[in-house]
Structure 1
Amino acid sequence: MDSSDVSEKDLKIIEKQLGRCVSNVLTIEKRCIYGYPQVIKSFPLKDGKPFPTLYWLTCPYLVEEVSKLEAQQKITEIEKIIQNDPELKRQLVRVHQVEIEKRMKLLGEKINSLPENMIKKLKETGVGGIENFSSVKCLHLHYASYLVGENNPVGGIVDRYIAKKCCDDSRCEKLKS
């Protein structure tokens, strides 16, 4: 994992990538071959509310590629693949559990000052805040998890669907200014 501190320049690039301000970025967990943020790690609270998404895909090219898969109904297809393979199903449940463990570790003692409903949300929901560990909410979140080295079977399937894993540098040039 090539995690790194987040500079002001990185934050500006991430904001351009996502098209909005970001306030809970902890680290850049993965960079593309051109050095731009590809996956960030987020703090589990944002503006005083639960933010259960630990890994966030920021690369505009990959976001677009994964969005195309979602538009092609790949979520339903991947759910069927997972449901029909007991080992993949077990791996998916484990990915959710690991994300919860990491989230709780990041929160540390801060968890004790949160209202019970927030604690419940953070302790009982998996990747992206999903409650049903057998279903898939968003391919982007699973792919981000996979890209940082988690044994995420959904992300692995998404990776196999995406033929070209990076854009040409010209697409990222506009992020520099």
Structure 2
Amino acid sequence: MTGSPDRPPVAQADLDAVERQLGRIPRGVVEVSHRCPCGEPDVLRTLPRLPDGTPFPTSFYATCPRLTGAISTLESEGVMREMSDRLEQDPDLAQRYAAAHDDYLARRTELGHVDEIDGISAGGMPSRVKCLHVLVAHSLSVGAGVNPLGDEALGMLPEWWASHPCTELVEDT
């Protein structure tokens, strides 16, 4: 089980579920930061430095294969490019997205400071959209109203949990 000194360890059952979702052992897990409506973990919160010493800027990590597949579909439809274009044209949106970047950094710094990634969040924040997976994971973990583009992408997703629990997808294939 992993965790951090000020947080309880992550339950082995959750780590096992995530291992089935990812097809590998999860690394640097601090907590399950969001659960899918099916009850399984779908977003993890991870350390900013993995146990092997690698800096890891992705503090909120989507794990559910149904969720990540749905997000990938949005990415393939050009949603990131459209959102990045809007950031250049809409100062209010750009300001709110920059605040989301600051929130992401503050939450990651709660888990430790890593010089190599200081000031670097994830997903393209604060100036572009590079990865919807990160933005959606951030929104799911911290709630609506913090990451406007994460919230928007989340609103575009189908009910990824509707068919089966997330861990069954790996077992089905």
State the TM-score, normalizing by the size of structure 1: 0.81
- Matching residue of 1:10: 14
Contact 2:10 2:30 in 1 (8 A): yes
Query: CA–CA distance in 1 between the matches of 2:139 and 2:132?
Result: 10
The counterpart of 1:136, out of the listed 104, 113, 129, is 129
The counterpart of 2:67, out of the listed 58, 62, 65, is 62
**Residue 127 of structure 1 aligns to a residue in which SS?**
coil
Query: CA–CA distance in 1 between the matches of 2:119 and 2:58?
Result: 13
Alignment map for 1:18-97 (pairs within 5 Å): 18-46=22-50, 47-97=52-102
Contact 1:61 1:167 in 2 (8 A): no
Query: CA–CA distance in 2 between the matches of 1:63 and 1:175?
Result: 13
Count of aligned residue pairs for this structure pair: 162
Contact 1:61 1:166 in 2 (8 A): yes
Query: CA–CA distance in 2 between the matches of 1:93 and 1:140?
Result: 17
Unaligned runs of 5+ in 1: 112-117
Q: Which has the higher helix share?
A: 1
The counterpart of 2:164, out of the listed 146, 151, 169, is 169
Contact 1:4 1:28 in 2 (8 A): no
The answer to which of 96-105 and 62-71 deviates more is 96-105
Change (3 A) 1:86 1:141: same
CA deviations 1:124-157 (Å, max 9, x no partner) are 20125x4x62111210000000112161112112
Query: CA–CA distance in 2 between the matches of 1:172 and 1:16?
Result: 6
- Matching residue of 1:102: 107
**AA of the residue aligned to 1:134:** S
**AA of the residue aligned to 1:95:** A
The offset of 1:82, in angstroms, is 2.6
The answer to which of 76-85 and 56-65 deviates more is 76-85
Contact 1:78 1:157 in 2 (8 A): no
Unaligned runs of 5+ in 2: 1-6
Identity %: 30
The counterpart of 2:138, out of the listed 135, 138, 145, is 145
Query: CA–CA distance in 1 between the matches of 2:8 and 2:161?
Result: 20
